[in-house]
Structure 1
Amino acid sequence: MKKFEIYKNIRKRAVIWGLPISLFALMMISVVGALLMIIFSFSFSVMVGVFIFNAALYIALTRISASPQLFHFSKVFPEIISNKKSNHFNYEQD
């Protein structure tokens, strides 16, 4: 009888082959494009080149997903949220 483990990390994001869903979709688009290139070009060098490109893309995407701070440039939310009208008058004394 099979034994199933309980999935306790419900707050973690979904991962397929070590990639988040959006990066996995990008990888699959690349694979489909590579298959079309292989089908319509009968060159061995194109086959090897496409295989190397897909392998390099997979390695790059797993590195990017492992360290997301590489592309984190700015904060998404402001530090202070206020309903006060913003004006540029300075009421303080110099």
Structure 2
Amino acid sequence: MKKFEIYKNIRKSAVIMGLPIALFALMMICVICSLLFIIFSFSFMVIISVFVINAVLYIALTHITKHPALLHFQKVFPQTITNKKSSHLHYEEN
């Protein structure tokens, strides 16, 4: 019998051009901003530098995607959340 994955798990692993969806969206925002920058600039060096910056950003994002340990952050939230008042008094030890 075939086993199918849950749809939300498929969306988590979706990649476009080798990047996860969030990083691909970041890349597209940078590309659109650079296109606006190219439209309003009149220098050939600015156009070349924008292409180089976009290429470096793409290489950096794919490198981060392949090696996720580079940006490993500690968890912000604790394992359990409780409403119990924390007291430093230990009644059992007395």
- Fold in common (TM above 0.5): yes
What SS is found at the alignment partner of 1:57?
A: helix
* Alpha-carbon distance in structure 2 between the residues aligned to 1:21 and 1:82: 34
- Structure 1 residue runs without a partner (length 5+): 1-7
Q: CA deviation at 1:17?
A: 0.4
TM-score by length of 2: 0.73
Q: Which residue of 1 aligns with 2:40?
A: 40
Q: Mapping of 1:7-18 within 5 angstroms? A: 11=9, 13-18=13-18
RMSD between aligned alpha carbons? 2.4
Instruction: Provide the aligned length of Structure 1 versus Structure 2.
Output: 86
Q: Mapping of 1:1-94 within 5 angstroms? A: 11=9, 13-75=13-75, 78-79=78-79, 84-91=84-91, 92=93
Q: CA deviation at 1:87?
A: 1.6
Q: Which residue of 2 aligns with 1:5?
A: none
Q: CA deviation at 1:81?
A: 5.7
Point out 4+ residue stretches in structure 1 off by more than 2 angstroms. 75-86, 90-93
TM-score by length of 1: 0.73
What SS is found at the alignment partner of 1:86?
A: coil
* Alpha-carbon distance in structure 1 between the residues aligned to 2:22 and 2:46: 27
* Alpha-carbon distance in structure 1 between the residues aligned to 2:25 and 2:40: 23
- Structure 2 residue runs without a partner (length 5+): none
